């Protein structure tokens, strides 16, 4: 029962994600044509640390469907905190949720985000579909640009709202690509652009996780006074390694994630 509700929710999240990230569907189709079965390692969500919509609020529907809070991560440079959640059914994707530390930014940014959040009917924050409900507030082009000067992440959430930032292919389950570098090579030959910040492959066997990602697609968003084409969402690829205790590492690596966040920066 819960499992059906969860499967439906994950499907609906994928539909929203693909509408923002057409290249992810193309990659899935190319891999399927090679006989691959795609397993989703994790889904990432972004938000603000405001009490109405912080990690606790965004994670609630997942906790109700059997997820548990696991690792915590801090990002000093970008002023973000994150938590990852796992389901007892290990076949289900992990959920990685980050939140922006609003108090680290200017008074005007804080006031603007408070205003956006307060403009929304409180019931919106209790919607079990919040994490794929899109942008609940109005935003102007100038507001978007002012937020972007201080934080690309802040502007992304303000413009696109609540929706999966990325899904992630679990590379260990691929038959044709034993190394992440092989998959990256294939994707580049097929014409996809990869995030090269800190090198194409983030992490290593020594930290039990290697990751790479595409650069975000772009999408047209209708703002209150203008239509703007902005970076939307990207696709990630993760290869996990077995730890000394014999178990596959399930966590994240802050130093790597710091660079993965940059996949939505739009120019590299
Ligand atoms: C999340 C970036 C970090 C990972 O797997 O380390 C991440 C984001 O861009 O919102 O997804
Ligand atoms: Ni990720």
Write the CATH number for 186. Answer: 3.10.180.50
Instruction: Report residue 179's pLDDT band, with 50, 70 and 90 as the boundaries.
Output: very high
195 CB near ligand 1 (under 6 Å): no
Looking at the structure of the chain, the number of domains it has is: 1
Contacts of 44 (CB under 8 A, 6+ apart): 95, 96, 97, 98, 164, 165, 166, 168, 236
Mean pLDDT of 36-49: 98
At residue 162, the pLDDT reads 98
At residue 2, the pLDDT reads 61
Q: Whose CA is nearest to atom 8 of ligand 1?
A: 261
Mean pLDDT of 131-156: 98
260 CB near ligand 1 (under 6 Å): yes
At residue 1, the pLDDT reads 47
User: How far is ligand 1, taken at its centre, from the CA of residue 225, in Å?
Assistant: 31
Q: In this structure, what are the phi and psi dihedrals at residue 14, rounded to the nearest 5 degrees? A: -65, -40
pLDDT beyond 70 at 268: no
Structure tokens at 47: 């938000």
pLDDT beyond 90 at 216: yes
Give the domain range for residue 117. 2-264
Give me the chain's average pLDDT, please.
Answer: 97
Q: Is 148 exposed, middle or buried (0-12, 13-18, 19+ CB in 10 A)?
A: middle
| Nearest atom, ligand 1, residue 165 CA | 10
50 CB near ligand 1 (under 6 Å): no
Mean pLDDT of 104-108: 98
Per-residue pLDDT tens digits for 54-69: 999 999 999 999 999 9
Taking alpha carbons only, the member of 187, 188, 235 closest to residue 211 is 235
Rounded Cα distance, 97 and 44, in Å: 6
Q: Whose CA is nearest to atom 7 of ligand 1?
A: 257
| Nearest atom, ligand 1, residue 253 CA | 6
Mean pLDDT of 65-90: 97
Lowest-confidence region among 1-15, 140-154, 249-263 = 1-15
Rounded Cα distance, 32 and 69, in Å: 32
pLDDT beyond 90 at 32: yes
47 CB near ligand 1 (under 6 Å): no
At residue 266, the pLDDT reads 85
Structure tokens at 259: 């660079």
Q: Is 191 exposed, middle or buried (0-12, 13-18, 19+ CB in 10 A)?
A: exposed
pLDDT beyond 70 at 48: yes
Q: Is the pTM of this model over 0.95?
A: yes
ipTM of the complex: 0.99
Q: Are 267 and 103 in contact (CB under 8 A)?
A: no
Contacts of 86 (CB under 8 A, 6+ apart): 67, 68, 70, 94, 250
């Amino acid at each position: 029962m819960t499992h059906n509700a969860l499967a439906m929710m994950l499907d609906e999240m994928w539909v929203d994600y693909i509408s923002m990230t057409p290249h992810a569907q193309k990659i899935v189709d190319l891999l399927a044509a090679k006989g691959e079965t795609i397993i989703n390692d994790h889904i990432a969500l972004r938000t603000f640390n405001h009490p109405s919509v912080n990690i606790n609020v965004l994670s609630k529907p997942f906790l109700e469907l059997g997820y548990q809070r696991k690792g915590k991560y801090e990002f000093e440079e970008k002023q973000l905190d994150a938590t990852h959640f796992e389901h007892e059914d290990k076949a289900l994707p992990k959920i990685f949720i980050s939140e922006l530390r609003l108090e680290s930014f200017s008074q005007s940014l804080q006031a603007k985000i408070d205003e956006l959040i307060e403009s929304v009917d409180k019931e919106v924050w209790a919607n079990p579909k919040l994490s794929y409900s899109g942008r609940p507030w109005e935003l102007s082009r100038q507001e978007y640009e002012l937020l972007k000067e201080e934080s690309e992440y802040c502007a992304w959430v303000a413009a696109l709202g609540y929706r999966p930032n990325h899904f992630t292919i679990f590379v260990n389950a691929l038959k044709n690509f034993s190394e992440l570098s092989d998959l990256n090579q294939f994707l580049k030959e097929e014409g996809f652009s990869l995030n090269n910040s800190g090198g194409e492959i983030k992490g290593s066997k020594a930290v039990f996780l290697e990751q790479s990602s595409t650069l975000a697609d772009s999408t047209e968003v209708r703002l209150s006074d203008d239509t703007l084409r902005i970076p939307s969402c990207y696709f990630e690829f993760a290869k996990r390694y077995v730890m000394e205790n014999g178990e596959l590492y399930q966590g994240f690596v802050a130093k790597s994630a710091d660079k993965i966040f940059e996949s939505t920066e739009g120019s590299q």
